[in-house]
Structure formats: structure tokens, C-alpha cells
Structure 1
Amino acid sequence: MSIAKQLINIGAIKLDPENYFTWTSGIKSPIYCDNRIIISFPKVRKSVIEAMLQEIKTNFKEVEVIAGCATAGIPHAAWIADQLDLPMVYVRDKAKSHGLNNQIEGQIGNGERVLVIEDLISTGGSSIKAANAVEEAGGEVLGILSIFSYNLMKSQKNMKEHGYESYSLLTFDTLLHELVESGDFDTNQMNTLIEWRNNL
């Protein structure tokens, strides 16, 4: 079963072309993605991690450190680091206001090649923020790998401006095409949703 179908089956991805969901940012969307739920489904998380490992083998062979974005990227980063027998760190949205004031927990050696793991990319802002923190700590960011991406023009522009390569197991477009092929969506619905996405 495809990653798309598995995520839909466990409720990680919900689609409703009639009644839009509201994101934290206030954006109204026909799709809602919550990959945090994956951790509760062993078979699905195994499929996701296997797919991410294959992506790493293909595009990030030189990786030396796995960095998980807090909070949803952390468990996936941990499983990947364990499978690859590599060091792992995690990156907060901002530095703590107490203790050692760390933004990154764990250790990155100067010049070490780091792969940033995200659960989801919308505008790309939080992923870029995490990648910037890694580079400020002395790491070399090879790229950002996520489970799902909305493929927004804004995220593509942001990634390009900051010089980061971004890969996702599943994108908004491939999800819709798969739903059309399976008969769950029709072409008109797909085109309407792609038009919504392109207008953001």
C-alpha cells in the first residue's frame, strides 16, 4: 500500500473540498495533515522510515548527522539515526530561555554534514529556521527531508533563496493524482484543489 493511502487510512491526511480546515496561520485549506499520529501506528511508521531511508540512500549518502525538527520531526529522526547508526540532534524553534539556552540539543561537529528531518512542509519557514540553526552551529546542511509537502510556491521560493535542497516522500500533487487514479477523486476536484494551492 502506498504512503498516501496509509496516511489517509490512519487519519494523518484528511481531505474535504467542501468544508475547509483552518491552519494555525489562519489559512483555509481543503487538506489537513497531522503526521504526529504516525508514531501510534507501527506498520505505517515502518513504511515511512523505510521510504525515508531509501531517499537518504539515493540523495544524501554523505550524511553524518540526523537533525530532527521539534517536535514532530524528532521521533522520525531518532528512528532514522538508529537505523543508520548515526548521531542525532534535535532543533527547537528557538533557544531555551533557561539552563544553557540551547536551540540545538545534541552535538554537531564543525563541518559535519547534516540532514534535517521534518514531518511536514508548508511555507518552509520552520524548516529553514532549523537548517539555519544547524549551520550557525557549524554543521553543513545537505538538505531537508519531509514526509509531506504542500509544494507551495512560497516554500519553493524560500528554499531556493536560502540554498537548501528539499525532498518529500509525498507531495500535494502526487497525493491528488493518486486519489484520481484510485477513483476516490475526479479530475475536476483535483484541478480545483491544485488551483487553490497555486493561488496561495
Structure 2
Amino acid sequence: MTDTDQATAALARDIDRTCRLTGRFVLRSGRTADEYFDKYRFEADPVLLDRVAAGLAELVPPGTEVLAGLELGGIPVVTALARHVGLPCAFVRKTAKAYGTARLAEGAEVAGRRVLVVEDVVTSGGQVVISTGQLRELGARIDQALCVIDRSEGGTEALAAHGVALRALLTRADLAAHRRA
């Protein structure tokens, strides 16, 4: 196992240990589960978030001009990542605010620039598809997205259908692998 593989395995283990909760949880679907993955726990831990950002930095495609973090979970991730790669950020709302600047994307200008969409966790890819479309309407050039965790539930395929390649630091399988070891 290479040093990079060991670092990735250690990161997966630490994220899983930090974020996997047990108890009784009602899911968005209405189902109940005895296990829940609280992604905000790795985003709230500055040391763990910095390790995530360092890993993501290796995946930023050459030529990227702006990092676009999606509301809510993508915002801390994109901010930490920007510190590692020195690129400006845009903070993308789910809907444009109705006051002040009334903008969908705050921060760095996206029009005419090569933008990398950054999300914390991708499941179906739905919000990334929506936000990518909105950013393209603003003139952003987008062909890739980056996430911390791909839950491997169709997001990669959904994004590919819209001309966006998804790169993930970790997958659901990576998080589960340390428990099997």
C-alpha cells in the first residue's frame, strides 16, 4: 500500500468514526434507521476538514479558475480547499436571494471562467445537476465536479448525463472498508 493509499484509508476511517452515529433516526424518505451519517461533523472539525481539503487539492483539475461551493455543506469544504490551492471561491445558493445583490453565486465572478463545482456528499447528484445548470446560465464553463464522498447511488451517472465528470476523494466503499479490515 502506497503512502497516498494509507493516508486515504486513514482519512476514510477517521471520517467514518467521526460521522457515523447510532440510535434511531428518521430519514428524509420517512424510513427509520439505526445508523446515520452526519456529514457536518467532519466539516465542523478544523483538523479533519483540513485533511479533507489537502486530499481534495490533489484532485483539482489544471486550468480551474474558480471553486464553486454549494449551499450548505459545500461552503466549508470549498473555503478550506481554496486555502490549499489558492483559487477564489463562489458560494452558490440553492435559490438567488431576494434582497441586496439578489445573486445566486456570491464571491468570485463565474461568467466566462472555468468553474469546478465542489460539494460535500453526492448521493443522486440532483442538487449538483441543478446548480451546475444555474451556473452555466450565468456563463460559467463547467465540465467537472468534486466531492468529498460519493455515496455511489447514481450521482456519477446523473452528472455524466449533463456533461459533468464527478471526482470523489472517498466513496461509500472506502468508508466501509476500514470496518471490514
Shared fold (TM-score greater than 0.5)? Answer: yes
- Structure 1 residues 83-98: aligned runs within 5 Å: 83-98=84-99
Deviation of 1:102 after TM superposition, in Å, equals: 1.4
- Structure 1 residues 20-169: aligned runs within 5 Å: 21-26=25-30, 32-56=36-60, 60-153=61-154, 155-169=155-169
What is the alpha-carbon distance in structure 1 between the residues aligned to residue 128 and residue 94 of structure 2?
Answer: 9
Cross-structure match for 1:13: 20
Q: Residues 156 and 42 of structure 1: is their aligned pair in 2 closer, same or farther, counting only changes over 3 Å?
A: closer
Q: Unaligned 5+ residue runs, structure 2?
A: 1-6
Cross-structure match for 1:3: 11
Where relative contact order (Cα < 8 A, 6+ residues apart) is larger, the structure is 2
Q: Residues 28 and 120 of structure 1: is their aligned pair in 2 closer, same or farther, counting only changes over 3 Å?
A: farther
Q: Residues 96 and 165 of structure 1: is their aligned pair in 2 closer, same or farther, counting only changes over 3 Å?
A: same
The reply on whether 1:173 has 2:181 as its aligned counterpart is no
The Cα RMSD (Å) is 2.2
Cross-structure match for 1:198: none
Deviation of 1:30 after TM superposition, in Å, equals: 6.8
Deviation of 1:43 after TM superposition, in Å, equals: 2.3
Q: Residues 29 and 84 of structure 1: is their aligned pair in 2 closer, same or farther, counting only changes over 3 Å?
A: same
- 1:141 aligned counterpart, secondary structure: coil
What is the alpha-carbon distance in structure 2 between the residues aligned to residue 106 and residue 177 of structure 1?
Answer: 38
What is the alpha-carbon distance in structure 2 between the residues aligned to residue 165 and residue 20 of structure 1?
Answer: 35
Amino acid at match of 1:46: D
Runs (4+) of structure 1 moved beyond 4 Å? 27-31
Q: Residues 85 and 103 of structure 1: is their aligned pair in 2 closer, same or farther, counting only changes over 3 Å?
A: same
Amino acid at match of 1:73: G
TM-score (norm 2): 0.84
Deviation of 1:27 after TM superposition, in Å, equals: 5.4
What is the alpha-carbon distance in structure 1 between the residues aligned to residue 29 and residue 94 of structure 2?
Answer: 16
- Whether contact under 8 Å (1:67, 1:115) holds in the other structure is yes
- 1:163 aligned counterpart, secondary structure: coil
Q: Residues 107 and 43 of structure 1: is their aligned pair in 2 closer, same or farther, counting only changes over 3 Å?
A: closer
**Percentage of identical aligned residues:** 25
Deviation of 1:62 after TM superposition, in Å, equals: 1.2
Q: Residues 110 and 97 of structure 1: is their aligned pair in 2 closer, same or farther, counting only changes over 3 Å?
A: closer
